[in-house]
Structure 1
């Protein structure tokens, strides 16, 4: 029995070696960057426990990101990354903040970064990680200089694409071998991570489990909502009319999500009646969720706020320290 356990551990170490060496960590587990959640305390806790914490820059201005990186470095001497949204109006400045701070890994999300942005990010030796929503884009990102990729399925929380991780993994993992590929979306147990490692993944990215961790600054109400929820409670936002696109965001159903449906219907009627032009109607729809994530995460308003969560939320059954979460994932995979 002891010998077989040792063999299992050795096999698992071999499967995770590429991811661990790329991240510089004990576990080949990245943390998803979650706005308002992935800040200095949680990021440092994940990195100190042997995972790879990632600061969510989100809408931060450059000076705020600079302070957040410095504060995180004060809490950990382990590797961590910074997630930058490609649509941020100050993207070039944010890249330079990371370069000056000698951030080891820069993660581009929310769109496909240009080759110029990737080159700028790598100026001081940083490694670039990018999200690849399709095989053709994965090849393009590698050609542009990305050092690693994340393929994220629609099971994930927050902003999502249309394709499940099961399908993305089959389309991409057997064919992309030039760089490490990390899988994400709906992952909550080590056995699932192991399956993707055996398909060729270098490691995994998890968000929902860490959002409810003991070290997360998320409000107690937010964490309790995760514990109560089942997988079926985490659903994408619904678009009523194709003329007014709604970026799909997966979160827990609450009064806010129901009111958003009514809001879209009211705005659509105003547009049809001529009270609003198309641009004004689109803005009115988009502004509905302004500040909603902060209300849920920081203020604990889980009824009208946006409680972003992946479908793995059904596997969140208690509030655990991140070290226990990471150890549990490893133990499940080895077993």
Structure 2
């Protein structure tokens, strides 16, 4: 057995894949084509449900099942107003793995997912929250650092890994995410006790990804320092920072925050409505870039590993090169 298989054993057993390499759920990008390609290549694809309605998710899972010969999962956002309906859709399709992102799972959601026989994987931004999730019965954790693309927390991947892996890696499989672009980093986290990893940015330019050619070109040209976190301009409007490539859309978001903050001042909207307006802004801006190819005004969500994305290649080639690099690093260290 190769060293990487050995170190990933708990992760691959949980996922039912050849390699414990999850694809991060990226709205508009992690859909049936990319998800099935990654799973069929031995990794583990995850559908990004995002703001989808239950009917849309139903169609997306059915479409993925038609293309995938291997296991895949579905990522659900805990704040989704129809979370329990979405869980039902996953159960109807006998989806084996549900990933919950975006905060503490609401009461009853873990039980509802487990009732269908599915495994639950949750994001844990701190050690205290990770412990709480393990006590509540999650099957695995994802710890994601601020180097990642999209919505990010304030702590780097290497710090989270040092805080959480020594304490919890023996209790449940832990997948490390954020800023991973090469196999050498995968090897290092596996040696620290991780059961696997999650990558998003690295898969955006897969040939099977439906992202617009303009969106892919922007990724191929970008360096790590161009993937910047959004700035929060009003402390009353706690906007979760989003990491994306700098463009006119980044500036427009600052203007949008001011506009929403003014509405808040005037009492035109309450806090919940204000935050939802910000969320909807992001969803629309991302679609403009990924689907329509408007890379000037849309949102180019990207992790700092974007500098390591140098060509368009198949999902299978990406998985194979990551595994090869990790294996070589593990052998070099004896």
> Following the alignment from structure 2 to structure 1, what is the Cα–Cα distance between the partners of residues 109 and 151?
22
State whether structure 2 residue 273 is matched by structure 1 residue 279: no
Q: Cα deviations across residues 137-191 of structure 1 (Å, max 9, x unaligned)?
A: 1111111110000000010000111111111000000110211000000000000
State whether structure 2 residue 295 is matched by structure 1 residue 302: yes
TM-score in terms of structure 1 length: 0.92
Q: Which runs of 5+ in 1 are unaligned?
A: 1-8
What is aligned with 1:53?
45
- The count of aligned residue pairs is 324
Deviation at 1:77, TM superposition (A): 2.3
Match of 2:83 among 80, 83, 91: 91
Larger Rg: 1
Q: Cα deviations across residues 104-140 of structure 1 (Å, max 9, x unaligned)?
A: 1011011111452111101121111000111111111
Tell me: CA distance 1:280–1:149, structure 2 relative to 1, closer, same or farther (3 Å): closer
> Following the alignment from structure 2 to structure 1, what is the Cα–Cα distance between the partners of residues 112 and 263?
43
Deviation at 1:294, TM superposition (A): 0.4
Contact 1:148–1:179 (CA under 8 A) maintained in structure 2: yes
What is aligned with 1:143?
135
> Following the alignment from structure 2 to structure 1, what is the Cα–Cα distance between the partners of residues 166 and 123?
17
Tell me: CA distance 1:11–1:39, structure 2 relative to 1, closer, same or farther (3 Å): same
Q: Which runs of 5+ in 2 are unaligned?
A: 329-334
**1:214-229 alignment runs, 5 A limit:** 214-229=207-222
Tell me: CA distance 1:126–1:262, structure 2 relative to 1, closer, same or farther (3 Å): closer
What is aligned with 2:332?
none
What is aligned with 1:18?
10
> Following the alignment from structure 1 to structure 2, what is the Cα–Cα distance between the partners of residues 40 and 128?
21
State whether structure 2 residue 167 is matched by structure 1 residue 175: yes
> Following the alignment from structure 2 to structure 1, what is the Cα–Cα distance between the partners of residues 144 and 216?
23
Tell me: CA distance 1:139–1:115, structure 2 relative to 1, closer, same or farther (3 Å): farther
Match of 1:118 among 104, 107, 110: 110
State whether structure 2 residue 123 is matched by structure 1 residue 131: yes
Judge which range, 112-121 or 68-77, deviates more: 112-121
Contact 1:25–1:50 (CA under 8 A) maintained in structure 2: yes
